Amino acid sequence: MTPENSHKLQLNDIDGKVAIITGASKGIGKAIAIALGESGAKVVLAARTQSTLMNVEDELREKGVDALHIPTDVTDSNSVELLIEKTLDSYKKLDILVNNAGNGVFGNVVDFDVSDWDSVINSNLKGLFLCTKYALPSFISQGDGQIINVLSVAAKVAFQASSAYCAAKAGALALTKVLAAEVRHQNIRVTAVLPGSVETPFWDDIPQHPDFDKMLQPEHVAETVLSICRQPIGMVTEEITVTPPLGIL
């Protein structure tokens, strides 16, 4: 080996890899599915609404992507376990898990409905735990795997009227760090992606929101996830924050 080649890095090739993306029916999840699929990955689309999942699946297949939709409620352990089982039955392996599903309900603590609190915590935190828990045995068995948790800057920045959302994302970031410590010696890479505000249907039911023109686009987050998947073998990015040029969170 010549000196000039002795430090050449071997990039990860995602062609042919199997990736599950939760919350894949719209917004960031759909953009991630497209980015990974167009780069050669076989993508499993997970979300609650079958009709919208089927539309994304059809769109991907028209692009020549090997795609499979599996309706999934990430807050239900049986549903998540079935997601992993169907993926392994169809593709015989799992290489990448992108935990992206989550919802947001906003309001001051004093007036906040308990059922809304439970919904936000369950979708953003419990769902991430369940998907990871049931995907890990496959990763551990094959001695390889990648988990990317799409969170939010709300994991670190407190926003008024966002108690449940900030708490859920902060908990998810802590869980991500614990998980990374637990599995790093088993060749499983774990990364937290913290986007700022992204123009997605997330804002449809929120009357007051930042200027859409100053937000990130879903494709910005998708390209970040794709770059993480392609990072050189032996390298792990544990956390990355993505914000628009003007710094709008």
Give catalytic residue positions. Answer: 165
Give the integer Cα–Cα distance in Å for 179 and 133.
10
Cβ atoms 43, 33 nearer than 8 A: yes
- 230: tokens are 């392609």
Terminal CA-CA length for the chain: 47
User: Residue 193 phi/psi, 5° resolution?
Assistant: -110, 125
Give the integer Cα–Cα distance in Å for 207 and 41.
37
**What is the signed CA dihedral for 36, 42, 45, 170, rounded to 10 degrees?**
-50
Those residues with Cβ within 8 angstroms of residue 55's Cβ, 6 or more apart along the chain or in another chain: 25
